[in-house]
Structure 1
Amino acid sequence: MENMRSENHRGAAMEGVKLASEAAANTNRRALRDIKNILGAPHQPQAVSKRGLQEKPAAAGAKSQPSAVGHRPVTRKFAAILQQTQPANAPLAPIGSERQKRNADTAFNAPSDMECSKASDDDLDEMMTNELKEIDMEDTEEEEEEMPDIDSCDVGNSLAVVEYVDEIYSFYRRTEELSCVSPTYMAHQSDINEKMRGILIDWLIEVHYKLELLGETLFLTVNIIDRYLARENVARKKLQLVGVTAMLLACKYEEVSVPVVEDLILICDRAYSREDILDMERTIVDRLEFNMSVPTPYCFMRRFLKAAGSDKKLELLSFFLIELSLVDYKMLKFQPSMLAAAAIYTAQCTLNGCVSWSKCCELHTKYSEEQLMDCSRMMVELHRGAARGKLTGVHRKYSTFKYGCAAKSEPAAFLLDARRA
């Protein structure tokens, strides 16, 4: 039975070969074994090995060379290496059909599994390296720019306008020059001098204290006086009238409850009438073109104290120093923001007994310690002489318990010693 199956199978195979030969003869087709898939290659009756093409045998008499290809798959990188190592006078490979060229290009350009794996690993390493670099850069930037959020405590306070408080103070910094006056404007006054100005402001500080007015009112009063005196020549007998009228205007701008004109007449010991004060009021607002909204040192004091994380003691000492600066004519050469920053810096040095100026303070004030040093040393000099001389109104005010006896603190003399050294 087994022999019969073998014979039948063999017979069927022979019959199939015979039919295939007759069909090929009738259609003028060559047998599959006669087709050479690789043009110019020797006829290989066996199937192509999965290991790749074998090296072509060297011609007779030719010098044998070590195989550069071997069983390595032809990748794009390897092909480039072969092209560089091939001699310039090497014969070109024969050109086959278009289908052969497409097959050759596909095989030549297609990356191998090993190359794909290596490329994937390289891409992954590159991506991880870039991500690590980005993380390092972000960490570095965060370390450089990481500062405490001084407005986080006021997020729920609508009056703090946390959403655009930075824009407000940027506007103050751009416009603060408009509130400044020339530090030499007294040279154009014919009947008054800088000492008379100091006496007037020292007296107004006492009036401001007795009337229990807001801090903004005092600083705006002094600003109105200086801007008016810088534009108008004032007689000596009218200087006090300018002062009380400037305070009346500041009260109308800042206060909820404004002092009546009769109270100001009594404060001046009836030296001026109601008509005199109202006439001077019209003159001042006309000369200043109704511009009362200017950034004074007080505007910056509140912001900078917040950046310094101040307590009540630092706050009172800072205001003591800056009110001393209001009286002194020489301090007009500094801008309001610098006066505020220098007052806080000097107060910190006074309380700590050493130089104290944090990165947060420098970031928000935009003043370095070196920039503040000249103004701060002048404030130390004012602090040392506050209890002496005729202009002691600020010292008496800040010697009370209401103001924490801030005037009795020891001045930061080491800042002056550093200058001498």
Structure 2
Amino acid sequence: MASRPSGNRRALGDIGNIVGALSATYLVTKPQHQQQQNHTNNLIEIDRPTTRRKFGAELTAKNQLHGKATKIIIEDDPKQSRTASSRKKRNRIPEIHEPKSIQMGEEEEEQEKENTRKKKLERWECGSSFNASMSTETAELPLDSEVDLQEWCEVEMEEAESPLRCIDKSDFQNPLAVVEYIDDIYSFYHRTEINSCVPTNYMSNQTDINHKMRAILVDWLIEVHYKFELMHETLFLAINIIDRYLSRQGVMRKYLQLVGVTGMLLACKYEEICVPLLEDFIYISDGAYTRVDVLKMEKSMLNTLQFNMSVPTPFVFMKRFLKAAESDTKLEMVSFYLMELCMVEYQMLKFPPSLLSAAAVYAGRCMLRRSPTWTKTLRHHSTYSEDQLQECVRLIVELHQNAGQGKLTSVYRKYSFSKNSCIAILMKTTTIETHFHSN
């Protein structure tokens, strides 16, 4: 590689790329072999190509001679312009304007955000379930939205064609209420409740027991449940476990109480925080069974039911429907009282849990003279109209009128105590037949 000719070369310094440069003429030192050809001048002028800025300045200067001021548009920035008078202010940093396309982009982005927010508000209808067309989408609760809960729930209430009430408004800040998923959860319950139902004539397959013995067993278990101070969920699950087991497995009469005790034990293990001891269940059965008998029956029931304890019982639907009914303590007590009256009766097994719960709430509202008896919000969340509830409600009315009579009185006595607001005694004098038929 040939070596570069040696010589003194100065740094170029300003190359004219700084705003306010005063000249486009630059000085360089000639190489030594050129210095001999020109002894009088060691420095020569190097003319750079004319730039757009330089051309604009020259054109402006010419126009000034003719008394004109011309605006020069610089292609690098369509929004930036300079007149001849602005040459005196070259050293100032020019104001930066955003291109029109960027401004338009921001406006479109804001509009898109607004549209997205409106879609979320439309998609989340307070108190209503998602329709089939949106079942494949992810239902998002706009927690990061600027719209607060009150405005959010009022969107639906302001619509004339959608009078449904937001029943989850009070639970918005409660993480245990899972407001984001509550509609999906109850939609799943409605679809799968058929799995918790039993054949209405399953007792015909039993050779040694009948529906009267079942009623005696359930009436006794309600009293045991009350003595042990267990939760409502435990009672409904225990009776469901017993019915499902009896519908699949033949049981001798002497082991029927053992099935009841074991069913209650399994429900306690599934629902309760503090489970009663096994010895407690042996004690309440008057020592008719041993510890080994209970454990053996427990194993048999779990295997028969394939360990399926997660089924929707009337309790889960009852809580939701009472919420939709804006219930108070009195309506809640009446509804559960009527529901437990139904649990004793074998004939009530023909109704699915959701319909049974809806009918109990309907009958309770009739007894308390609540108007309207069945609102659009209740119809939406229960999925039942008044006409669909008529048969079940009539049976519930009959059970209420006959409560406290005969030998099976555990439910009536349970709801006659002050702990349950003596609701059975108060409602005994309430006639609802006339009011019911008027609806």
TM-score tier by shorter-chain length is 0.5 to 0.7
Distance 1:205 1:140, change over 3 A: closer
Q: What is the RMSD of the two structures over their aligned residues, measured on CA atoms?
A: 1.8
Q: Which of 380, 385, 389 is residue 368 of structure 1 equivalent to?
A: 385
Residue-by-residue CA offset, 1:164-203 (whole Å, 9 max, x unaligned): 1000000000000000001100011101000000000000
Q: Which of 386, 396, 412 is residue 432 of structure 2 equivalent to?
A: 412
TM-score with structure 1 setting the length: 0.65
Partner of 1:188: 205
Partner of 1:43: none
TM-score with structure 2 setting the length: 0.62
What 5-or-longer segments of structure 1 have no aligned partner? Answer: 1-137
Range that drifts further, 365-374 or 140-149: 140-149
Task: Please tell me the residue identity of whatever aligns with 1:321.
Answer: L
Task: Please tell me the residue identity of whatever aligns with 2:394.
Answer: R
What 5-or-longer segments of structure 2 have no aligned partner? Answer: 1-154
Task: Please tell me the residue identity of whatever aligns with 1:412.
Answer: I
Partner of 1:171: 188
DSSP-derived class of the 2:173 partner: coil
Distance 1:415 1:199, change over 3 A: farther
Partner of 1:273: 290
Q: Answer 1 or 2: higher relative contact order, Cα 8 Å, separation at least 6.
A: 1
Task: Please tell me the residue identity of whatever aligns with 1:212.
Answer: E
Partner of 1:395: 412
Partner of 1:381: 398
Deviation, structure 1 residue 416: 6.7
Q: Which of 237, 241, 251 is residue 254 of structure 2 equivalent to?
A: 237
Distance 1:155 1:417, change over 3 A: closer
Task: Please tell me the residue identity of whatever aligns with 1:231.
Answer: R
Residues in 2 aligned to 1:226 and 1:350: alpha-carbon distance in whole angstroms? 30
1:222 equivalenced with 2:242 (yes/no): no
Task: Please tell me the residue identity of whatever aligns with 1:272.
Answer: Y
Partner of 1:317: 334
Residues in 1 aligned to 2:207 and 2:401: alpha-carbon distance in whole angstroms? 32
Distance 1:150 1:417, change over 3 A: closer
Residues in 2 aligned to 1:287 and 1:336: alpha-carbon distance in whole angstroms? 22
Partner of 2:324: 307
DSSP-derived class of the 2:218 partner: helix
Residues in 2 aligned to 1:184 and 1:229: alpha-carbon distance in whole angstroms? 11
Residues in 2 aligned to 1:155 and 1:353: alpha-carbon distance in whole angstroms? 27
Aligned residues of 1:349 and 1:355 also touching (Cα < 8 A)? no
Matches within 5 A, 1:3-82: none
Identity level (%): 57
DSSP-derived class of the 2:159 partner: helix
Partner of 1:357: 374
Residue-by-residue CA offset, 1:56-83 (whole Å, 9 max, x unaligned): xxxxxxxxxxxxxxxxxxxxxxxxxxxx
Deviation, structure 1 residue 417: 5.4
Residues in 1 aligned to 2:247 and 2:378: alpha-carbon distance in whole angstroms? 33
Q: Which runs of 4+ in 1 moved over 4 A?
A: 138-141, 415-419
Higher helix share: 1
DSSP-derived class of the 1:252 partner: helix
Residues in 2 aligned to 1:414 and 1:277: alpha-carbon distance in whole angstroms? 49
1:344 equivalenced with 2:361 (yes/no): yes
Partner of 2:76: none
Residues in 2 aligned to 1:270 and 1:139: alpha-carbon distance in whole angstroms? 59
Residue-by-residue CA offset, 1:261-305 (whole Å, 9 max, x unaligned): 100010000000000000000000000000000000000000000
Number of matched residues? 282
Deviation, structure 1 residue 405: 1.3
Residues in 2 aligned to 1:270 and 1:334: alpha-carbon distance in whole angstroms? 36
Partner of 1:3: none
Partner of 2:160: 143
Residues in 2 aligned to 1:415 and 1:240: alpha-carbon distance in whole angstroms? 40
DSSP-derived class of the 2:167 partner: coil
Deviation, structure 1 residue 321: 0.2
Deviation, structure 1 residue 393: 0.3
1:256 equivalenced with 2:276 (yes/no): no
